[in-house]
Structures are given as C-alpha cells and as structure tokens.
Structure 1
Amino acid sequence: MRVPTMDARQFIAELKTRGVYRTAALYCAGAWALLQVADLFFPILGLPDESVTLVLVAAGIGFFPAMLLAWWFDLTPEGVVSGSVAANSGVRQAPASAPHILELGMILALVVSVGYLYIERLQDDGATAPPRAAPGERPSIAVMPFVNMSDSGDMAYLGDGVAEEILNLLARLNELNVAARTSSFFFRDANPDLKQVAQSLGVGHILEGSVRRDGEQVRVSAQLIDTVTGFQVWSSTYDRHVGGLLALQEDIARQVVDSLQVVLSDSARQRLDQPVDIDPAAYDFYLRGRDFLRQQADEANLSTAVALFERALAISPSFAAAWAGVCDGVLGRYVQTLSTADFQRADAACQQALNLDANAIPVYVSQGNLYRVSGRYEESLAAFSRGLALAPATVEAYLGRGKTHAAMGEGPAAVADFDKAIQLQPNYWRAYNELGTFYFTRGDYLSALPLLEKVAEFNPDSDTTFHNLGSMYYMLGRVEEASRAWSRSVELTPSAETLSNLGSALFYSGDFSGAAQRYRQAIALAPDNYRYWGNLGEALRFLDDQAPERKQAFERAIALAEEVVQVNPSEPLPRAMLASYQAQLGSRRAALAYLKPLHQTGDQPISVLYYMAMASDMLGMDGLALDALAQAVELGYPPHLLAMDANFADLRSEPRFTNLLPAGKEKKQQ
C-alpha cells in the first residue's frame, strides 16, 4: 500500500489552514511585548537582571508547544476542535498567491527578529555586565586620564592633572561612588575597551576626555559614557585661557553630577561650588609637581616634585594643596634618608597646609603619615579617619591607617584596612605591596610572596618592586633569585636600600670587604641613614685592618639613631640597634640602658629581636641572646640565614643555637 505524501506547497497551505501562522505571529508579538514590559519594570521593582532572562527562556521554551497545539487544535465559533477536522472541513485551499507569500514573509521576519533579540539577550547576560546603580544606590563613575593632544609631548602632566582634579572634586561627594585615581589611571596606556574598564573598576559610567594646550589657550573635550549602553550621556568642548582651568574643572564636575541626576545635599553642593582663586602659573607648577610624585619615589623625583611645589608657593603662598605636596615629597625623602631636618621640614609643611584648608583630603593623608612616622599613632588614626569622613573611597588613607595599626601591633585591623584598599582599587600595586610588606615583617613569607609577585606584574619598571621581591626571595633561601631581583632594582635606579641589601648578601657569604664596599655606596646616597653606617661597622668588624673606620662608622650610626629616637620615641628598632652599636664599641652601660627596657616590654618584631640578640651576645649574656634568637626563629626568621651569620659565630657550639639551625630543627622534628 502506498503511503500518502505531502509536498511543500500542501504543507504550507496546511499550516495556514490550521492557524499555525496566526498563532506564531501572535505568540511572537506577545513575547516581544512581555519582554519590553519586563525590561522596563523589573529594575524599578528591584528585581535582578536575571529575571528578564528567565522571561526570555520561558518564552523560548513555550514557543514549540504552542505551535504543536496550533497544529492539532483550532478555536472556532463551535469551540475548540481538532486542527485536522478544521483543515479537512471541505474548504478547498487556494494556491499560494503574492499576498499569502507576503504574509508568510512578515511572520517569518517577526519570528527571526524575536529570535535574534532572544539570542542577543542571552549573550549579553552570559558576559559580565558593568554594574548599574539600583534604586537607592549611589551612581558609580571612573575618571580616566585625559589624553594629551598638545604638540609638545611634555604636556602629559596637564591631562593627568585635569582628570585628577575633576576626580578629587567628585570624590568629595558622598552621593557618588568614584573609582580612585590609581585604579582608573592604571589603564592609561592600555587603550582597553570601556566595558572592560567598567567591569574591572565596578563602575556604571566613565568620564574621558582630551586636553590640547597652545600657548596660553587650552581646549578641553570631555564626554560621560554609560558603560551599560555604550551611549554618551553628556559631552562638551571648552576653549579657555589657561587661567580658567580650575573653574573649567569645577564646571565639568557639575555637568557630570547633573547628567547623572545626582541630588546633592546642601553641604555637598557648597563643596562643589566653593570658588578657588589660584594663580594659573602656580597651579601649573602644582600639576607638574604632582606628576613627579606619581612616579617612582626616588631621590630625584621627590626633590623635583618639592622644587615645583615651592615654585607654586612662591607665586601663591596660601595654596594649601601645594603645601601638602611639599609635606608628601619631603616626608618620602625622610623615610629613605632618616634625616631629622627632612622630618622637621615635612612637619612644618603639613601644619601649614592644615592651617590653610581644614577640609583638604590630601592634607589629612599627609598629616596621618607624618604622625605615624613620629610615633603619634592615635593622632595618626584620627587624621586618616577625618580624611575618610570627607571622602570614604580614599585608598591612600586606608593604606596609611593600616600601616599605623601595624605599627601599633594591631594586626587584624591592619589587614582589614589593607584588604579594603585592595577592594577599592584592585589594580593598584601599592595596596598589594603594603599588605605583602606587612606579612613580610611578621615572618609570614609564604603569604607575602604572591602579593609581592603581583606587585611586579603591575609595576615591572619599579626598582622598589624588585628590591622588595629580592628581600622576599632571600628570606626564603632563594638566593640566586634574590640576587637577580636586587641587580634588576639597581639597574633601574641605584637606591641606598638595595645597595645595602646586596652588601648584606655578601656579608652572609663571608665577603666582608665586598659588603663594606656596598655599604659605602649606600651611605653615599643616604648619608643620614644610621642603618647603613651600622651595617658598615659590622662588616669592618671582621676586617682587622679597619679598626679606625669601624669606630667612626659606629659613632656616626649612634649619633644618627639617637636623632631618630627623638623623632619617634616609641619605635623599638632604633633602640635595639643602638644597644648593638654601643655593645660593639664596648660601652656596656650605654648598651644596657637601651637593651633592658626592650626585654621588659614583651613581644617584639623579628628585626628588634635580632639586634637584641646581637647586643646580648656582645655583652656576654648568652642566655638572653639565645632566648631572643629562639623567639625570632619562632616568628619566622630564616634558620638558614642564622647558620651563615658571622655575628653569632661564638654561639655555634651552644646546643640551643644548634637546635635553631635547619639540621637541628629537622632532627628535633624527627
């Protein structure tokens, strides 16, 4: 028996007769309308974006059952009947005509368009979308560095400065979430897709622009982009005299706030509208100084930055931000040189900045760092907290406060602040560096290593990065990697600290003459740093023909360390080192005067315990020396370094000392 067949024309006619065309068109139109309603009202109702996707999925799943029902059943005046009955009711189907073909084409187009919308929506939801502020949440924005379009290549500082000042204005508004400068500026030379930037920084809007300077005229173009839609929310181009740059930045900040439809409090509006009267030339010097502060914190950059801030102040003596810049630059230099004169100068500059503007965020960050360095920890915490009250997303304030908590021995609070900084700026190398350094100083080298290696990824041309990484490798016993990292650091910028570390590596290997030469090079770069003079004295101790220079080195180290103690009386490390220096000069009474209070204090960091052990050993107090070394090893001091340390050669026959060495520890564990 022959099975009946149906050709294509008959099948199309059958679809039309059974009402499948009409059902498909109605279904697609209804799905389209439902999607538009969901896309519009679900966010208003506070439902997540996934809810719209679920509507699409449900509509897609329901399409095929609807077509099957349309094939088998039909709605007639007599009620619901079988589609086959309606199709075979005796009505002869007309052949396909032009209107019928047009009708079929329109239905297919509608089906395809809805299908395309469905696929596109699923693809969009499959990717990570930049966050859009939900009802009641603060809008979020990142300010990108403005591109330098000037004919002169040395004007890059101008675009960065304009962007940074706009960012600072917006960051002072509690009604906005503003990505910090170091995060947005991370993408300066990468030319990434804006959606990629938004996903990385967690913002819904991006402000970008360009700056072109021609003599005394400046053209600034700016545009605000919605990172979800990719559309411009606002854009404008300004032609101004360079003297109107500050007012222009304030105008752009207002335009951004208005475009985002942010409702500002009276105090926030007052901060945004507060007039600033600064000489254009002074402001230009200030921007140049900030540009040098953003670079590697070596002696050359810090000195150049300070000189530029001073030129700004020579024109506008009441420019508070420039005084804060002087404080930052000179304090950065003090950390490297430990020169008391640098500290006093930084202190005076910070105080002047605070007197001129008590609401300037950079002033409180500078003040907090200054208080921490001088051991005034409670005042330091108060200054950082004041800065965070003015701008809750100030990462430098979290980092400074974390370092203050660390200096106070409050480890969990320090980690919480460092983690908050990383959360706010996931691309900021300094945040990882501070947390890694925190773990390093506490002997937790395995926790510190991945953080410092991440710093090297973010900051591959920084001598400080490779200096810290080399120290990390060395403490882990990876001496060759440490030497390579330190050598790379010296290639980038010969810093005193790295040269001193290279000297210490030679010291542990028994090359005391080579170590002394490295220490002399470090002293040439930082002649007021007591640690380098002390290191030189320790190396010369093992060179019999260098007794006069050794005595001179220790005496200089003692004089400089005593000045540091006056700056920060609560810091134990210089006191422990003073005890060691005095002991090596044979001044027993002076050594004990520094040493005894340290033993009475209780828990001490690894570095302090090391010098306590050295001083005790030199004074013939072997039991106290071994106690301090045991505590240091327990906290994380590497036993392999202890085995190579010539400073404790006279203790190597002691069983307690032998048990601290790698072989002794392994034997003890067995």
Structure 2
Amino acid sequence: MNAELLQGYYLEDWLIEPLKGQVTGRGGSTHLAPKAAEVLNCLANAPGEIVSRDALLDAVWGVGNGSQEALSHAVSEVRHALDDHADSPHFIQTLPKRGYRLLITPEMVADASSSVVLGAADGARPSDIGFIENLKRRGVLETLVGYMVVGWLLIQIADIVFDQLHFPDIVGTFVTVLVIAGLPIALILSWFLEIHDGRAVLHELSPADARRRRFSRTYVSIISALGMAGVLVFLFDQFIGLPEREPEVVVTTVVPAELPPIVENSIAVLPFNNFDGSDETQIFANGLHEDIINRLVRIPDLRVSSRGDSATLSPNSSSEQVRRRLRVQMYLEGSVQMHEDRMRITVQMIDTESGFHIVSRTFDPKREDFFAVRDDITRLTVANVRVALPPNLRASSLQVMEDPSLDAYLLYRRGIDASRQSSSMNTIATALGWFDAALEVDPDYAAAHAGKCTVFVDAYGETDDPNYIERAESACARALALNSNLDIVHTSLGELHVSTGRLNDADVSFKKALAIDPSNVRALLGLGETYQLQNKLDLAERYVQNAIDIHPGDWNAYNTLGTFLFQTGRFDEAAQRYQYVVALDPDNTTAYSNLGAALMLNGNFADAEKAYKRAIEIQPRQVAYTNLGLMQYFLGEYDDAIESHKSAIELSPQNYLAYSNMGDALWVAGRRDEASIAFLKAAELVGGRLAVNPNDPFVSMDLAWINAMLGNHDQARVLINKALKTIPDDPYT
C-alpha cells in the first residue's frame, strides 16, 4: 500500500485522514472505523481498478479471516461518511460478484505541501473558506475599488471633454455603458484568475510579493474588462442600438393668458362619491350625476357645465380647481352609499370663489325611491340658485320625461358609461350588449333604443360599414315611436341624418331636441355642423358659440368651434380655440392633434410637430399619426411620413384617408408601384362611405384626389366641382 495515503488525501472536497480515522467535508468531520478506513485505503491504492472482495478481506482482516458481511458493513460505513449511495455511486462502485472500484483518483495532501490551501491551517477546500476572506485573497475587493475609481474618472472625462469637443451624445452614452458593462467582467476575471486544478491557491511568496501579484492581477482584470466590454458594447450598438435621449415634447405655442370668464348663474355637478365601493352603487352615483345635470339644463337662465367636463374632476376636487377648470360660480358635490335596500345620499352646494357651503342635505330613501330623491335634489338646487323661473315653465322644466324600472335603468347606465369610453369596436360591442340587456327588461325603454342608435352611428364611423346605418335607422325609429318627448331621441336621430347626408331632416331633428331642452349641447353642436355643410356659415358659428355660452368650460364646444374655423380657412382663430381646449384639459389628445393641424396650415411647422408628438404621447390615434405624416410630407421628410402613415393604418385599417395619404408619400418618394396599390385600396374603402352619403362633400373631395393620382382626371374634375358647390370655402377643396 502507498504509505503516502496514510498521511491523508483528498477525494474531491473530502479530506481523508486515515491515521485519525476522520473524514472532513463541507458539513464537518465524521469518524471512520479502522477497518472501514483500511478498506477505503485499499481502494484508494488502486483508483479506477476493480479490487476483488477476497483481496480486500485478505488485506484488511488477514488471510482466512473476516467475512463478506463484515466487508459489506465496512463499505457501507465508508459510503455513509462520504454521503455516497450504492444505487447511484459517486465514489465507490459495487460490481456484483467481482468486487469494488474507487471512481475518484485521490490527491495526496503531501503533493500540495508546496502550497498553502486557502482557509484553515491544516488545509481545506475552497468551499471551506469564508466568503469575505475569499474575496480578499483573490483581490476581488481591490479590483472593485480600482474599477470604480477608473470608471468614475472615465465618465467625468467624457462628460467634460466630449462636450467641449462637441462630440455627439451617443459617444458619452457609449463610455457610460462601457463602464457599467465592464464591472461584472472585471470582478469575474479577478475571481477566476487564481483558480488552479479546481482549487483557489496562493503560492508561497513573501507578503510583499503576494501583494504585488494581487495588484498586478487587479490591473489585468480592469484593463481586460474594459477591452472586452468595449467590444461587447460596440456589437450591441451595431445590432440593437444604444439608448438615445428622447427630445422633450413641449408645445411652445402661447396659451391665452386669461381663461374664459366666469359665467353668471352657472353651476357644475361633480361626480358623486361611491362610499361603499360596489359596482351597483357606482352605477347609481353615475346616473344621479347625469340625471341632475339633465334636469338642471332645462331651467332657463341657468348655465350648467357639461357632464363630460365635470367628470374630468374628482369628487373631492377643491373649489379653486372647479372654478379654474369649469368656469362656474357654484358646484354641487355629494356621495352615495347603499346598505341592503336603503341608500344614503348626501349633497352639498358650494361657492367656487369662497369655498363656503351654500346648502347641505342628506337623504335616506329606499332603493326603489331613487328617482324621487333625484328630483328632490334638483328642486333643492333650483331653490338655492339665483335664477328667475317663470311659473308656467316650472313644471315642464323639472318634469321627469321617462322613468323605467330600476333594473332596466341600471343596465342602461352601464351602456351609457361604455359608449363614452374611447371609441373602438370593443367598447361599441360592450355598449350595445348593455343596451340590449336593458331592453330585455323593458322593451319599451326609448332612451335605450336611442343609445343603440348613437352607438351604431359611431360603429359606422369606425368601420365604414353601411349595415350599421341600417341598424341605427331601425333603433332611432323605434325610440321615436316609443317616446317623442325625449330630447336625446331627436338628438340621436339628427346625428344619424348628418351621417347619411339628410341635412334638412337633421335640422328638423336637432330643433325638436332644442325645443324640449334648449341647453342640449349635442343638439346645438349638431345644428352647427348641419349649417356648415349647408354653407350657412354665420348660422353655424352662432349655434356653436351658443353651446359655449351655455356650457362654460366645455372643451368639446371649443373644439367644435375650432374645427368650424379650421374648415373655413381661419387657421389662426382655430389655433386660438384649440389652445383654449389645451388650457382647460392639458391631456386632451384630440386638442393637441387639431392644434397641430391649425399650426401646420398657418405655417408654424416646428410647433405643429411638437403638438402632434404630444398627442401621440398621450394616446396613439390614427388622426394624430396621419396629421404628423402630412406635415413630414410637406417638409420633404418622406421616409418619416411613410412610417407615420403606416402607424395610422395599423390603428385604423379601414380608413381610406390613411391609405390615400400613404399613397401621396410613396409617390413623391419615387415608389410609384406601392403608391398605386395604396390609392387603389383607398378607392376601394371609400365606396362604403359614398353608398351611405353620396353627397358628402369631404368624401367627394378625397375621392377626387384619389382618382387624379390614379390617372382618372375627368372623374376627378366632376367630383371637385361637386364638392365646391357645397363647401366653396374649404381650404382643401
């Protein structure tokens, strides 16, 4: 037997000390019986070779002594000490009827006598070394400190010198990313540079030599890491790209210094707080908010902020916020809480200038008395505002036009809430589902039929599918037959007539709605659009301005007036109205998109681009990308324009204008075949719009351009002349 084995040896991370009868591993030391230690020594003397049972018995117990059971027991002891297993051996393999074999070649402790194993005085494996001690011995801590100093210096030099030399920002970014990426590489190199034969060792050197060696390793690690990181960052920049600073999107156009004035006898109704947090309570709160507004607007000489604008404020908004945003003298706020079959409704009227309460009242009705409480709150509000209500108008002003069953009302309110979300086919389908559910409970609920009519018109605008117009006509006809006294029925019908080009019918419907509710903003704005299409521009502007006067702070009214001014070529005035919208609602994507269009046609391309990008930042929409693409087209940035129009098509694949504008950009970029494909697609899509409204001057104008680009010049002239008869002042025509 090799005498060196008796001095000790390693089996991987296990230290075997035969003379001590001890096995030391990561979990500590284990005693090994003398016979078991001798068996292990015999196997270690011939690693990788089969040692027969008889040979082991003769060597350990003597010839003729011992037994197979004693040998098996000794082998089991060894396996137990080494945490080995007979069925999946790592150290000792059993070969049935033949013997045993040691699978690991032992490493003599004497062979490592020229080195000091990191750790205990008697020597130990790297796993026994303390983590912090290991970091110190390997020079990792020195590398970390050195690298941070070098990296900081590099970044500071880049920050100061590169700016003086007018280097591009990407160069400074490259240096910063290089320093960040190199840190883990330097630490890894420092850790592994001193690994030998599976163990971390320090050669026997003088303390000074050892320190010099460690610091030289630090320098090598830092320099190598920076070099490797430089290559990696370069490749990353080539194939993926380093981050670049995004320019701040700041609209530098001048917002009017003064907001619209506070209107006398004006009031807003804020959304009601939902104190118990349930969905049903929220529906009641939303319905109460809107129904009170609908009843207050019927009162002559009382100016009521629109539902959409008051809904932009939270229920607990301060009086200063309400006054600045809605431009009203007073506002109503409150809360709704439900418990079993009872409700608690609290309302407070507050002066916006002083913030003082004018009146406060709490109602505790049963659930089924909701409509009665709603009317009581309306009467309480009227009693505390300074308006003269003629006696002969009092009853009609507060009259409840339609009170369905409470279950149908709740479903209808869900449909209304869904229809007011950002328009898409998903929200349209959701709204239709709720309206249909309300009609299953109450088939004669006229307001629900009117809601379906409006949503079908919106669906037509999204898809250009004429089938939606047929459904809208059916729904509006049913609503009108059920209750012709509802202003919302006539308003929905008027909007349907505008979509189909029946402008005289639209005029009649909107006026009927206003006869029922003179403050109906949708009807006023609808009349404005109708008269514009009939080229009655003075009347159109008057009705839109009337909507603004009745509902101070209504951004939609200002936006509609801006669109009217834009379409009549008054771009400077249009931009001013859109700036009002931005001042009232800073996150309004429609306002920024329209503002950009007005600025662009007024020649202010720089501010127009900022407005478009701000609109896209708030909410990516087809119209914003289309307008941005048009401006890039005018500036000669054709590749950018093509990309913007691609984004518009992705958001609205059925929009013929998106394809037409794409065709323009492709044409001037020299990609004529692709342009022709885009124009043909636009011509295909525009057919659905003309089928519904063959007299739409704006669609005729667009189709004229498409025909001209496809070479159909005679047809283009016919369409241009047709559009000019209706909208002679439109700048695009």
The two structures have a TM-score, normalised by structure 2, of: 0.57
1:537 aligned onto 2:663: yes
Cα deviation, residue 521, structure 1: 3.1
Q: 1:154 to 1:197 in 2, by over 3 A?
A: farther
Distance in 2 between the 1:129 and 1:474 partners?
32
Q: Which one is further off, 504-513 or 361-370?
A: 504-513
Matched, 1:581 2:706: yes
| 2:566 paired with 1:440 | yes
**Is residue 209 from structure 1 mapped to residue 209 from structure 2 by the alignment?**
no
**Residue in 2 that maps onto 1:41:** none
Q: Which residue of structure 2 aligns with residue 351 of structure 1? A: 477
Q: Which structure has the larger Rg over C-alpha atoms?
A: 2
- The Cα of 1:457 is off from its aligned counterpart by 1.7
Confirm whether residue 420 of structure 1 aligns to residue 546 of structure 2: yes
Tell me which residue corresponds to 1:455: 581
CA gap 1:529/1:277 in 2 versus in 1, 3 angstroms? same
Tell me the equivalent position of 1:381.
507
Asked if structure 1 preserves the Cα contact closer than 8 Å seen for 2:704 and 2:720, the reply is yes
Q: Structure 1: how far apart are the matches of 2:447 and 2:299?
A: 18
Q: Compute the displacement of 1:584 (Å).
A: 2.5
Task: Quote the offset at 1:455 in angstroms.
Answer: 0.5
The aligned counterpart of 1:59 is: none
Alignment CA distance shift 1:445-1:319 (3 Å):
same
Please, which of 530, 533, 544 is the counterpart of residue 407 of structure 1? Answer: 533
Q: SS in structure 1 opposite 2:366? A: strand
Match of 1:391 among 502, 507, 517: 517
CA contact (8 A) 2:582 2:592 kept: yes
Of 564, 572, 578 in structure 1, the residue corresponding to residue 689 of structure 2 is: 564
Equivalent pairs counted in the alignment come to 471
Structure 1 vs Structure 2: percent identity of aligned residues? 30
The worse-fitting range, judged by mean Cα deviation, of 215-224 and 192-201 is 192-201
Question: Among 653, 661, 677, which residue is 1:527 paired with?
Answer: 653
How far apart in 2 are the matches of 1:450 and 1:226? 30
Query: Does 1:474 pair with 2:600?
Result: yes
Q: Where do 5+ consecutive residues of structure 1 fail to align?
A: 1-127, 133-139, 609-670
Which 5+ residue runs of structure 2 have no aligned equivalent? Answer: 1-260
Cα 1:532–1:424 change in 2 (3 A) is same
Q: Distance in 2 between matches of 1:413 and 1:322?
A: 32
Whether 1:369 and 2:495 are equivalent positions in the alignment is yes
The whole-number CA distance in structure 2 between the counterparts of 1:536 and 1:519 is 5
Q: Tell me how far 1:597 sits from its aligned partner.
A: 4.2
Contact residue 180 and residue 424 of structure 1 kept, 8 A: no
Contact 1:576-1:598 at 8 Å conserved across structures: yes
Secondary structure at 1:342's aligned position in 2? Answer: helix
Amino acid at match of 1:499: Y
Does the 8 Å CA contact 1:350/1:363 hold for their aligned counterparts?
Answer: yes
1:130 and 1:227 in contact (8 A); partners too:
no
Once the two structures are TM-superposed, the CA of residue 296 in structure 1 deviates from its matched residue by 4.5
Aligned to 1:48: none
Cα 1:219–1:157, aligned 2, differ >3 Å: closer, same or farther? Answer: same
**How far apart are 1:370 and its partner, in Å?**
2.0
TM-score, normalised on structure 1? Answer: 0.61
Distance 1:291 1:364 in 2: 20
Is contact 1:449–1:472 with CA below 8 Å preserved after alignment? yes
How is 1:21-32 mapped onto 2 (pairs within 5 angstroms)?
none
Contact in 1 for aligned 2:300/2:389 (Cα 8 Å): no
Task: State the alpha-carbon separation in 1 of the partners of residues 310 and 727 from structure 2.
Answer: 44
SS at match of 2:317: coil
Query: 1:579 is paired with a residue of what secondary structure?
Result: helix
Which deviations, in whole Å up to 9, do the C-alpha atoms of 1:101-124 show, x marking residues without a partner? Answer: xxxxxxxxxxxxxxxxxxxxxxxx
- Structure 1 segment 141-540 matched on structure 2, within 5 A: 142-152=268-278, 156=282, 158-173=284-299, 178=304, 180-182=306-308, 184-185=310-311, 188=314, 191-193=317-319, 197=323, 207-214=332-339, 217-223=342-348, 235-241=361-367, 243-254=368-379, 269=395, 272=398, 276=402, 278-297=404-423, 301-540=427-666
Alpha-carbon distance between aligned partners in 1 of 2:553 and 2:324, rounded to the nearest angstrom: 13
Q: What secondary structure sits across from 2:553 in the alignment?
A: coil
The farther-off stretch of 564-573 and 193-202 is 193-202
| Mapping 1:647-658, distance limit 5 Å | none
Aligned to 1:553: 678
Greater mean alpha carbon deviation, residues 157-166 or residues 358-367? 157-166
Per-residue CA deviations over 1:132-155 (Å, capped at 9, x if unaligned) read 8xxxxxxx7654432222235896
Q: Cα offset for 1:604?
A: 4.5
Offset at 1:280?
3.0
Task: Output one character per residue of 1:191-233: Cα deviation in whole Å (capped at 9) or x when no partner.
Answer: 2339985997666x75432112356653222356789996655
Which letter maps to 1:594? L
CA RMSD, 1 decimal: 3.8
Query: How far is 1:391 from its partner?
Result: 1.4
1:627-658 CA deviation, whole Å, 9 max, x = no partner? xxxxxxxxxxxxxxxxxxxxxxxxxxxxxxxx
**Inter-partner Cα distance in structure 2 for 1:475 and 1:231:** 48
Residues 185/517 of structure 1: CA separation in 2 closer, same or farther (3 Å cut):
closer
Letter of the structure 2 residue corresponding to residue 570 of structure 1: N
Deviation string 1:588-629 (CA, Å, 9 cap, x unpaired) is 454344345456779351112xxxxxxxxxxxxxxxxxxxxx
**3-state SS, counterpart of residue 220 of structure 1:** strand
Counterpart residue type for residue 159 of structure 1: A
- 2:271 alignment partner, SS class: coil
Q: Distance in 1 between matches of 2:325 and 2:632?
A: 47
Q: Does the 8 Å contact 2:558/2:581 carry over to 1?
A: yes
SS at match of 1:245: helix
Evaluate the alpha carbon distance shift between residue 457 and residue 224 of structure 1 in structure 2; reply closer, same or farther with a 3 A threshold: closer
SS in 1 for 2:732: helix
Query: 1:175 deviation in Å?
Result: 8.8
Contact 1:286 1:322 in 2 (8 A): yes
